[in-house]
Structure 1
Amino acid sequence: MQWLRSLIARSPRRALVLGKTLFLAGAILILGAVFARASLVALNTDRAEARQPALHTLAEAWPQYPTWLVPEGPVGFGIAAVLVLVGMGVTSLAESARRKQKR
């Protein structure tokens, strides 16, 4: 942990940008998954009315799009959550290093 603090202390601005980027990437993944799941539920509602079998994954519903980017299971959501948490941590450490540097 000390090596991370010293690395951030050397260039707090870069660390701040990195932290915000990681946070934003994780948040976009989570929001994308929420909206994708909502659209899949709506699609399955229409399919149920037409007496067709339900679709279980996004790849079944939209095979022409790269749906591997969207987290669908616990592992994908875990990775996105780790990105958010790491981004928040790095941003927090960079902000404190930046304040110390300004003094």
Structure 2
Amino acid sequence: MLERCLEYFLTEPRRLVNLGSALLQAGGLLLVAGLLGFLVTTAGSVVTGMATRTRPVVELAEVLPGLPTWWVPESLAGYGFAVCCGLIGLWAIQAGRTYQRLLGH
């Protein structure tokens, strides 16, 4: 199975560059969504805290009940996953371009 994956990407290095680009964009999208989610929950917490004199913890699912928010990173592990996607994407782009240059594609 691994041989087929390697053969798929090494016979046409542009595929590896495209995969890297997709991973980089996905990682960036996750980071932006996580930061926007953090801003929304913080604003909701502040507004609720001004009304009740205590600052409660507001979850993203409470602020946006009609939208699926399972994919938005809210913890260190989620942000770490997004950063890893971006870094692996950068590595795949560099490796694909190197293979393109070496193989003359």
Q: Assess same fold via TM > 0.5.
A: yes
In 2: Cα distance, 1:85 partner to 1:41 partner? 28
- The 1:5/1:89 distance shift into structure 2, 3 A limit, reads farther
Counterpart of 2:56, as a letter, is: A
Correspondence for 1:97: 99
Counterpart of 1:102, as a letter, is: G
Mark the runs of 5 or more structure 2 residues left unpaired by the alignment.
none
In 2: Cα distance, 1:14 partner to 1:92 partner? 12
| Equivalent in 87, 90, 94 of residue 88 of structure 1 | 90
Q: Is the 8 A contact 1:16 1:94 kept in 2?
A: yes
Mean CA deviation greater in 22-31 or 55-64: 55-64
Correspondence for 1:43: 44
Number of matched pairs: 101
Per-residue deviation, 1:62: 1.9
Q: Give CA-to-partner distance per residue, 1:34-90, whole Å, 9 cap, x none.
A: 111011111111111111752332112222210111010122112111111111111
Q: Quick check: 1:23 aligned with 2:2?
A: no
In 1: Cα distance, 2:67 partner to 2:55 partner? 21
Percent of aligned positions with the same letter in both sequences?
27
Summarize the alignment of residues 58-97 of structure 1 with structure 2, pairs less than 5 Å apart.
Answer: 58-97=60-99
Q: Is the 8 A contact 1:8 1:97 kept in 2?
A: no
In 2: Cα distance, 1:55 partner to 1:87 partner? 34
